[in-house]
Amino acid sequence: MLGNSNGASQVEHTTPVPAHAIRFTTPVVKTPAVFILGRWLWRFLAFLASLPVRFPLSVASAGALVGSWVLWDWVGPAVVCTVAVVGGLAWRHWHPSTFRRWVTLRALALVRGVWVYRRHWQPVLVVSGLAESYLERQYLPRIRSVKCSEWADRVRVKLVPGTAPADFEDRTPQLAHGFQAPACRVEVLGPLDLVLEFPRRDMLADPIPALPVPDSADAVDLVALPMGRCEDGRTWTMRLHGTHVLVAGVTGAGKGSVIWSAVRAMLPAIRSGLVRVRAVDPKRMELSYGRTLFHRYADSGEACVELLEEAVADMQARADAYAGAVRSHTPTTDDPFEVVVLDEVAFLTAYHPDREVRRRAENAMATLTSQGRSVGFTVVAALQDPRKEVMNLRNLFPDKVALRLDEASQVDMVLGPDARDRGADAHLIDPAAPGTAFVRLEGSKTPTRVRAAYVSDADIDAMTADEAGGEGEG
Ligand SMILES: Nc1ncnc2c1ncn2[C@@H]1O[C@H](COP(=O)(O)OP(=O)(O)O)[C@@H](O)[C@H]1O
Ligand SMILES: [Mg+2]
């Protein structure tokens, strides 16, 4: 040892230090080997005894094989294997989805659990600084289980007492690279109990075509409009009634597809007059295309401000009518749900040359966002640059959609400072996948990656054509 070669000797932690001549401590007693061996044996037996409970299927099949061999010699296992293979193939043929869930994904979880996670667990955690040491012993968080879903591996972990999930959240890049996954997300289930989610494949790689228009106004759910797909394959739904939505993303990030997906999901209700959309389009690029769908449409600075102020006046009139009589808004044709869609708001609030226009636009937006929710007025605003100078109304929007952004700091501005720690890397979204975004779904602290469906010009044409047809009939 190094210590011995230079004359130093190892200090036991019970040795008195010079500061106190006598120190009382519990003596360190060496454990006899027989105890240690006994404990190992006990653990091994407990493991064997728990096998039928933990792996019922594997134990049953092994039992069947051995039993049939004892009974009928080699014919037994041959018959058992043939029956199992034929049965499995039939199952897979008739019920592919249950077969996948019960057999394929479980087998995959078993293999990946051993080969990817348990094999690399110690080196990855030690190097990334997640192993704790105390008195020269190392304590590692323990893998409780590994499960595979269609698109990701979910590794459930028991933390070392005294550590916090934040330690993992800080090291998601290390974990993702360590286990060769494109990303890592942390989900806290309870005290010392968390799940690390490693995607295996990207369910959002291909563009999603526009979702079907709901059949009737009754089928439109204003608190869960289908917008696109979440990364676990479920439909991404967005709330509009009772909230305001801020959509942020650089040019070409797909802000238009978020706005149009929302309009499309409300189309039957727009036609029947339960929903009215006012559109502000200072760039004249996005919304002019479907202007016949909108109750009001404005593109020049002055007209936009007038539209906003008219919306404020309507909102205040409704608030007066409701005061003391109605506590929450239900859309009817007399009192429709009013949506104000603003594309490229910074043109109005920051870049417009006329200071008066900027001030009035900002005032109207602040009034709408701060008072509109309970009386059925919602603002959906899209912008490129979420910096404070450009948009100091950010915090009035409860719901935010972060499409591709330029810088990491902008992600914090849109989704909040903890979002990136939880894996919302909106600044790393592939420019070749427009429409991809991070959102916080209702009731969840973890941001989810989603992709908006792409509403093409032809889809918008079809939407407006039906509109004209509908009016002609009526
Ligand atoms: N959800 C989407 N899926 C696939 N492609 C999209 C999607 N959204 C937008 N795109 C593509 O990206 C281009 C730019 O989108 P756009 O909505 O105009 O961006 P922005 O308004 O953010 O500048 C579109 O012309 C389209 O080709
Ligand atoms: Mg646009």
Question: From CA 469, how far away is CA 309, in angstroms rounded?
Answer: 32
User: In this predicted structure, what is the pLDDT of residue 470?
Assistant: 44
Euclidean distance between the first and the last CA atom of the chain, given in angstroms as a whole number? 94
Tell how far the Cα of 346 is from the centroid of ligand 2, in angstroms: 12
User: In this predicted structure, what is the pLDDT of residue 186?
Assistant: 87
Q: Is 435 in the pocket of ligand 1 (CB under 6 A)?
A: yes
Atom of ligand 1 nearest to the CA of 344: 21
Feature table: binding site? 249-256
CA dihedral sign, ordered 21, 23, 27, 28 = negative
Query: Model-level pTM?
Result: 0.76
The domain ranges of the chain are 96-199, 217-465
Tell how far the Cα of 418 is from the centroid of ligand 1, in angstroms: 27
Contacts of 66 (CB under 8 A, 6+ apart): none
Give the ligand whose atoms come closest to the C-alpha of residue 384. 1
Tokens of 404: 């591709």
Question: From CA 442, how far away is CA 177, in angstroms rounded?
Answer: 30
Q: Give the C-alpha distances (Å, rounded to integers) separating 68 from 56, 76, 78.
A: 18, 4, 9
Q: Is 454 in the pocket of ligand 1 (CB under 6 A)?
A: yes
Q: Is 400 exposed, middle or buried (0-12, 13-18, 19+ CB in 10 A)?
A: buried
Tell how far the Cα of 252 is from the centroid of ligand 2, in angstroms: 7
Tell how far the Cα of 250 is from the centroid of ligand 1, in angstroms: 11
Tell how far the Cα of 389 is from the centroid of ligand 1, in angstroms: 26
The values of phi and psi at residue 454, to 5°, are: -95, 115
Q: Is 337 exposed, middle or buried (0-12, 13-18, 19+ CB in 10 A)?
A: buried
Contacts of 302 (CB under 8 A, 6+ apart): 357
Pocket test residue of 231, 251, 255, 257 for ligand 1, highest count of atoms within 8 A of CB:
257
Nearest to 339 by CA among 256, 254, 269: 269
Give the ligand whose atoms come closest to the C-alpha of residue 251. 1
Q: Is 207 in the pocket of ligand 1 (CB under 6 A)?
A: yes
- 198: amino acid identity, one letter: F
User: In this predicted structure, what is the pLDDT of residue 310?
Assistant: 94
Question: Exposure pattern of 346-373 as b/e (b: 16+ CB <10 Å)?
Answer: bbbbbebeeeebbebbbebbebbbeebb
Q: Is 243 in the pocket of ligand 1 (CB under 6 A)?
A: no
Quickly list DSSP for 215-263: SSGGG--TTSEEEEEETTSSEEEE--TTS-EEEE--TTS-HHHHHHHHH
The pairing of beta strand 152-158 with beta strand 235-238: unpaired
Tell how far the Cα of 430 is from the centroid of ligand 1, in angstroms: 13
Extract the runs of DSSP E, i.e. beta strands, from 257-336: 275-280, 296-298
pLDDT in tens, the chain (474 residues): 444 455 555 656 666 566 666 777 788 888 899 999 999 999 999 999 999 998 888 899 899 999 999 998 899 899 999 999 999 999 999 999 999 998 899 999 999 999 999 999 999 999 999 988 888 888 999 999 999 998 899 999 999 999 999 899 888 889 999 999 988 888 899 999 999 999 888 888 899 999 999 998 889 999 999 999 988 778 999 999 999 999 999 999 999 999 999 999 999 999 999 999 999 998 887 888 888 899 999 988 889 999 999 999 999 999 998 888 877 888 898 899 999 999 988 888 888 888 999 999 999 999 999 999 889 999 999 999 888 667 678 888 889 999 999 998 899 889 888 888 777 889 999 999 999 999 987 667 778 899 999 999 999 999 888 655 444 333
Atom of ligand 1 nearest to the CA of 258: 1
User: In this predicted structure, what is the pLDDT of residue 78?
Assistant: 93
Nearest to 429 by CA among 165, 182, 66: 182
Atom of ligand 1 nearest to the CA of 249: 22
Pocket test residue of 439, 454, 456 for ligand 1, highest count of atoms within 8 A of CB:
454
Q: Is 211 in the pocket of ligand 1 (CB under 6 A)?
A: no
Atom of ligand 1 nearest to the CA of 250: 22
**Using the 8-state DSSP alphabet, how is residue 101 labeled?**
I
Feature table: binding site for ATP? 249-256
User: In this predicted structure, what is the pLDDT of residue 389?
Assistant: 66
Q: CATH: 3.60.110, 3.30.980, 1.10.1060, 3.30.70. Which one for 96-199?
A: 3.30.980
Tell how far the Cα of 343 is from the centroid of ligand 2, in angstroms: 7
Please write down the HEC assignment for all residues of 392-406. CCHHHCCEEEECCCC
**Using the 8-state DSSP alphabet, how is residue 149 labeled?**
-
DSSP-derived 3-state class of residue 89: helix
Atom of ligand 1 nearest to the CA of 208: 3
Tell the residue nearest (CA) to atom 14 of ligand 1.
252
Give me the CATH code for the 217-465 domain, please: 3.40.50.300
- 115: amino acid identity, one letter: W
Tell how far the Cα of 308 is from the centroid of ligand 1, in angstroms: 26
